[in-house]
Amino acid sequence: MKKKFILEGLDCANCAAKIEREISELNGVDSASVNLMTTKLFIEGDEEKMPEITRIAEKIVNKYEPEVVFKKA
């Protein structure tokens, strides 16, 4: 399944790349991509693991960009 999130206030390209890489290496994630321009995060992965993935993804976003607001889209 594919999920979409908004990373409000995301400004830094390098951080976006780090976030994208770390989330795509998570267990159960097939692919993850961060679009800096539309400030969107797409995660594709196992349906049953999604709640856990979402939780960790939010943590990762927070680690690199504490100012960014993680929202469900």
Residues that bind other proteins (CB under 8 A): 11-15, 17, 21, 33, 35-38, 40, 42, 62-64, 66
Least CB distance from residue 14 to other proteins, whole Å? 5
Buried b (16+ CB within 10 A) or exposed e, 27-43: eebeebebebeebebbb
Q: What is the DSSP letter of 68?
A: P
Least CB distance from residue 40 to other proteins, whole Å? 7
- Which residues lie below 8 Å from residue 48, measured CB to CB, with a gap of 6+? none
Least CB distance from residue 68 to other proteins, whole Å? 13
Q: Which is nearer to other proteins, 48 or 55 (CB)?
A: 55
